Amino acid sequence: MNQKERSSVNFFEKWILNNRLSIILLNLLLFFLVIWVFNKISFVLNPAWVFISAILPPILLAVIQYYIMNPLVDWLEEKFKVPRLLTILVLFVVVLIALIWIINTIIPIVQEQINSLIKNWPRIWNDAVRATQTTLHDPKLAALRNSINDMISSAQNALFKSGQATINTTLGNISSAVSIITMIVMTLLTAPFILFFMLKDGHQLRPYLTNFVPQRWQESFSDLLYQINFALAAYIRGQITVAFWVGVMFAIGYSVVGLPYGYALAILAGFLNLIPYFGSIIAFIPAVVIGIMTSVPMLIKVLVVFAIEQLIETRLISPLVMGNKLEMHPITTILLLIGASAVWGLWGVIFGIPIFAVLKIISSRVYNYYRAVSEVFDDENENEASEVIKKSEDNPE
């Protein structure tokens, strides 16, 4: 091989084969090429997506319940040798009794408060507008009076148009409403059966999936499945536990101070707390509005309840339950929530973090494997080895 051919080969190896930037750009090109191909054959994938979207709701509901119940099933089986089937049947009976109790006691109270809130909302809104207009008569606020009045008028018009649009949309999409109701009913009917078999045979899923992987990768793949399962379990159990205690604390606090519609607001706060960082703030807004409309002392009591709840949640419950099991920086979480909500709406807010955690685990494992087998990082390995050799020479002991 002459000098010219050798230089061209060295250039190709240096800038194409063993260059990280070139490899990253090539992988990105292949990634977008795959997306482009899938977009061109979307008509083939549409039936598959319809099928997945039909079976996904009961599976998600069953998975959430599985992560809540499975630790107790495993613990009783390992500690006291209780058969899994017996524990599962007892849990199903307990859940059924709890649902009957909730339907007979809590739901009527919440329904009454919600109906009362809907009935009295025009009065609450008019009182808020009247209080705002009274405040605007202060001579110090004369410069802002016209702009704030315009804002109030715009808000009233927007609410009216939104209500009209909602009514028209509802009347024009009765078939969609029937489809949604059918999906909810089918989800509630099929999820318990899926949950039963997940609790009964779920511990055999990881060894079963591992058998489909080549022998040399089975141990690594099994560990990958374990990490994904651990991350999902930690997040789902932690979020639901924290949301439950947040709802309980608000229910106790609002009932003690006598806030109207307290139980409904507490349940709303529990559900919204499933949204990290922003859920508590969103749930706090209607409580503040109702507190203002009730009286100034009631507003102060609501603020005190919120401060106590935040103190207990941030200092005791969240660190004890959640910790930092997903190892995500708060800035990463906030940016992820903003982006996921912009792309997928409410579903992105709820499922964005666990999906990101799973993708992070998979990407990390793939990257580590690539570093181990690729020649691109040989220079780093050689540098690390030389540093180790140098340290051993400096310290012979």
Angle at 320 between CA 98 and CA 275, to 5 degrees: 65
Same domain membership, residue 321 and residue 369? yes
Same domain membership, residue 298 and residue 366? yes
Q: Which tens digit of pLDDT belongs to each residue from 24-72?
A: 788 889 888 988 888 888 777 788 888 888 899 999 999 999 999 999 9
Same domain membership, residue 69 and residue 31? no
**Model confidence at 133, in pLDDT bands (50, 70, 90)?**
low
In a domain, 98, yes or no: yes
Q: Which tens digit of pLDDT belongs to each residue from 182-230?
A: 788 888 899 999 999 999 998 899 999 999 998 888 998 999 999 999 9
Q: Which tens digit of pLDDT belongs to each residue from 80-124?
A: 999 999 999 999 999 999 999 988 888 888 888 888 877 877 777
Same domain membership, residue 329 and residue 276? yes
Instruction: Report the amino acid identity of residue 368.
Output: N
Question: Tokens 């180790």 — which residue?
Answer: 388
Same domain membership, residue 335 and residue 265? yes
In a domain, 132, yes or no: no
Same domain membership, residue 96 and residue 222? no
Check pLDDT > 50 for residue 310.
yes
Q: Kindly give, in sequence order, each residue whose CB lies less than 8 Å from that of residue 350, ignoring residues fewer than 6 positions away.
A: 274, 275
> For the residues 307-336, what does the mean pLDDT come to?
80
Q: Which tens digit of pLDDT belongs to each residue from 152-175?
A: 566 556 555 554 554 455 445 555
Best CA proximity match to 298, nearest among 254, 243, 344, 357: 254
Looking at the 3D structure of the chain, how many domains does it have? Answer: 3
Check pLDDT > 60 for residue 143.
no
Same domain membership, residue 298 and residue 233? yes
Q: Which tens digit of pLDDT belongs to each residue from 350-384?
A: 888 889 989 999 988 888 887 777 666 655 544 54
Domain enclosing residue 28, as ranges: 1-39
In a domain, 111, yes or no: no
Q: What is the pLDDT of residue 178?
A: 66
In a domain, 263, yes or no: yes
In a domain, 317, yes or no: yes
Angle at 179 between CA 176 and CA 182, to 5 degrees: 155
How many angstroms separate the CA atoms of 41 and 39, rounded?
5
Check pLDDT > 70 for residue 149.
no
In a domain, 396, yes or no: no
Same domain membership, residue 347 and residue 316? yes
Same domain membership, residue 219 and residue 182? no
Same domain membership, residue 85 and residue 16? no
Q: Angle, to 10 degrees, between the axis of helix 218-257 and the axis of helix 346-373? A: 150
Same domain membership, residue 359 and residue 282? yes
Same domain membership, residue 364 and residue 297? yes
How many angstroms separate the CA atoms of 60 and 394, rounded?
58
How many angstroms separate the CA atoms of 292 and 131, rounded?
10
Sign of CA dihedral 362, 368, 372, 375: positive
**Cβ atoms 371, 377 nearer than 8 A:** yes
In a domain, 164, yes or no: no
In a domain, 357, yes or no: yes
